[in-house]
């Protein structure tokens, strides 16, 4: 799932604080602009992944004209992909029990096939990942 949301950047002591006005509790900081942009994309993906996981309604992003800034603050759009985020951060193994015919099991063992890898490859293909 790909998303784009506006973030408000506020300069602070050489770095930046960043918050997303459309998403409750979605904020971060960065030591410089590059770090703030990286951290903003990370916290956005984390927050939206959490929304998806909990089946929470994801609000529509605001337009630039809807966001008020003060002083040195500025708004920048931040993009993220929650599927890519999951691939990078949610690789904990989950045990699955499955059944296959005995003859197929024996043939696969004889060929040294890695059952886990075959299942992962097949699921990725079925899901278009």
Q: What is the pLDDT of residues 91-122, one digit of tens each?
A: 777 888 888 899 998 999 999 999 888 998 99
For residue 104, CA distances in Å to 24, 51, 95 come to 51, 41, 20
Domains in the chain: ranges and CATH: 2-89 (3.30.160.250), 93-129 (no CATH)
Residue tagged 């602070």 (tokens):
12
What's the chain's length in residues?
A: 129
Please give the pLDDT value at position 97.
83
Q: What tens digit of pLDDT does each residue of 31-63 get?
A: 999 999 999 999 999 999 999 999 999 999 999
């Amino acid at each position: 799932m790909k998303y784009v949301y506006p973030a408000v950047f506020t300069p602070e002591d050489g770095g930046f604080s960043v918050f997303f006005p459309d998403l409750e509790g979605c904020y971060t900081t960065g030591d410089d602009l590059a770090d703030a942009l990286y951290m903003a994309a990370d916290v956005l993906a984390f927050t939206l992944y959490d929304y998806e996981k909990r089946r929470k309604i994801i609000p529509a992003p605001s337009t630039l004209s809807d966001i008020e800034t003060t002083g040195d603050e500025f708004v920048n759009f931040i993009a993220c992909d929650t599927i890519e985020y999951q691939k990078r951060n949610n690789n904990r193994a989950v045990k699955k029990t499955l059944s296959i015919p005995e003859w197929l099991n024996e043939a696969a063992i004889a060929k040294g096939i890695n059952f886990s890898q075959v299942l992962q490859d097949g699921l990725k293909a079925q899901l278009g990942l």
